[in-house]
Amino acid sequence: MFDSERGWSICYVGCGFLGSYYVGVTHCLMERAPHILRDARMTFGVSGGALHCHCLRRCLPDDIHLRISGKACLSLTRVDDFKNVLVSEFHSKEEVVDALMCTCFIPFYCGFIPPSFRGVRYIDGGLTNNAPCIDSKTTLMVSPFYGESDICPKSMSTNFQIIDFINLSLQVCSENIYLTIRALVPPSTKVCTELCFRGYLDTVRFLEENGVCDRPQPSLSAPCGELASQGVLAAPEVKLEDDLLDHLRLSIRQWEERFLQILSPKLILALRETAKDPDGYLSKVCNLLLVKVLCYALLPCTLPVEMVVHAVHR
């Protein structure tokens, strides 16, 4: 939990292909409460959360090991004894890359030979500790799964049963079953847009409930002149009545409608650009239902060939 007196850390739990949720969370924090990211004592990451944790440090520059040592912590699972290992000190950029490869490696799904870090083989840290922290009382937990994390989606289900799964509290609901499947299967661009949008809204709700928002933010209906006077980069006018927001409205609850009025114009423009379907006849052909059915039907033939090619390449 966020504690301004005792200090705090941030933990991005393992999430597989749901990492775009963290993009929305981080964008909201950078806009509305940048001190939470700037002043965090430690940033923990697992699997996809680890990749996002380090993307905050500008896509691994040459001195990345100097920037993150003592500030970012990765969760790994040692193959020899299946014990969880937390790594926060790095001596080179190569060590950072090796550790990231280890924490994202799911046995059989990613390959058969686990990568190594400092001569020892490791696999995904989420298999033994999916929510690492030093002090849970002062750690801000961020998770794309429904549960009891500080920043996470909130279900309207009347089922309040909570289970502890690899150090992460999850709510028993159909939404988490769907998200678990999405975490293992690469989602479409539209799903990634929804996840980013959900991460932004959940963070706004967290900041509002805890009263840690630095300043009121301009809404989508604010005129461009007002945005410029507040020091916000002027963006083209964004109308609420567009296809993107109409689609995003389908994924939110009625009581969250008011958050649409305070969304970042830059975020909406970025989501709209990302959600655009690629042009060209080849893209349209690949999206045909018949073509998709044929691709899935041919998997028993194409998958073994791809596995052999991958094994030979390794």
Give the catalytic positions in this structure. 47, 124
Helix (H) or strand (E) holding 50: helix 48-55
Structure-token match 């293992």, residue found: 184
Strand, helix or coil at 74? strand
- Residue 75: CB atoms within 10 A of its CB come to 33
Q: Which residues of 278-313 are buried (b: 16+ CB within 10 A; e: fewer)?
A: eeeeeeeeeeeeeeeeeeeeeeeeeeeeeeeeeeee
Backbone angles phi, psi at 92, to 5 degrees: -160, 165
Cα dist. 247→37, 118, 194, 221 in Å?
Answer: 30, 47, 9, 19
Strand, helix or coil at 253? coil
Identify whether the C-beta of residue 140 lies closer than 8 Å to the C-beta of residue 2: yes
Helix (H) or strand (E) holding 95: helix 93-103
User: CB-based contacts of 72: which residues, under 8 Å, 6+ apart?
Assistant: 42, 43, 44, 45, 53, 54, 57, 88
DSSP secondary structure code for residue 104 in this structure: T
Backbone angles phi, psi at 81, to 5 degrees: -125, 5
